[in-house]
Structure 1
């Protein structure tokens, strides 16, 4: 309890600006963590590979129109739907395997960017909070040593110990903000990687099915 009371006193000290700066970094970090946890753990599931099996069955049966309709319905809730729709539409339009792959890769890149957005800021804010804490401690120590230069020798030790205690609050608070931010950065980054891998495997499965059951444009033109 004394530790938190000491931190609270740091917000009223002469160097309180550093404490408020760290608090701003903490608020932004918490907002990012909450938003990303909801986006990656609540709204997303690692099930894209399972969802691709039904679409792959339609492709194997040669019913691309049905596969396209199913993918478009799926796109309202699942990222695989948009990726599959792009690839299947390219196959229907006789674009060729390269166009199918490019269309699917384009949406895969967009989805990867969407999954990983703002996660990197957590590491940045953790470093910023730590550095601000060190800066606040250094400036606090400078003020403390400057303040005792004209003080009574009997009071110097008390003034110096109090000044150092307040100065160290910024470092402690900076670390208190940085450690959870770094932990959540690792957790969210791992979750984003797993979601991305799941989607890539599902998309690759569909591309393989389209490749096996797709005739090049040149061959279709010859038959026509």
Structure 2
């Protein structure tokens, strides 16, 4: 294996480093973006119960903010529960943008690695071909061993770049799809919360009127 890396030339170092970073990003995001960590199932039931029973307190909101990304969004709505619907929606949307930004963290870097890895492999290919032509210029075609070194460098770096780029691209697309799915679910839960608070407000107003 070491001999293969050595034969690949100068660009093998950056390509290997890119592969390590890509793997680390994918595994970290895979752990962070677990549905149970972003959208705890018991969380929404607990919040609806607080709303229905009118038991919302500041300590509940503070606990929600520390619970999960969904908890932060719901906490933003509950913190403004006594204000107009437009203010509630604006606070939820603002918090949602911050949450989505955090969910997207490092995914763009994974896409960048998928894009530049073939280019690094191509650069290594060009360097290998230059080396091969230099051998032809100085020693002619009579020494196949020296000529083969430049050709091997060209082929190995191309293969290495593609070997890193293909899994990185697949991982990028997968994580992007997972984030999009989680965002849709959080939007649904936020809409349910706004509707529940609207219904509660209407019920309170009806009781006062009667």
2:64 is aligned to 74
Q: Secondary structure at the match of 2:139?
A: coil
- In structure 1, distance between residues paired with 2:39 and 2:76: 21
Number of residue pairs aligned between Structure 1 and Structure 2:
204
1:8 is aligned to 5
- In structure 2, distance between residues paired with 1:168 and 1:118: 30
Ranges of 4+ aligned residues in structure 1 off by more than 6 Å? none
Unaligned runs of 5+ in 2: none
Aligned alpha-carbon RMSD (Å): 2.5
- In structure 2, distance between residues paired with 1:20 and 1:167: 14
- Quick one: structure 1 residues 106 and 153, their matched pair in 2 at CA, closer, same or farther if it must change by over 3 Å? closer
- In structure 2, distance between residues paired with 1:119 and 1:56: 33
- In structure 2, distance between residues paired with 1:58 and 1:126: 46
2:171 is aligned to 184
**Conserved 8 A contact 2:33-2:179:** yes
CA drift of 1:125 comes to 0.8
Q: Are 2:46 and 1:59 equivalent residues in the alignment? A: no
Unaligned runs of 5+ in 1: none
1:210 is aligned to 197
User: Residues 125-144 of structure 1 correspond to what in structure 2 (within 5 A)?
Assistant: 125-144=113-132
- In structure 1, distance between residues paired with 2:112 and 2:141: 44
- In structure 2, distance between residues paired with 1:39 and 1:187: 14
Query: Taking structure 2 as the reference length, what is the TM-score of the superposition?
Result: 0.84
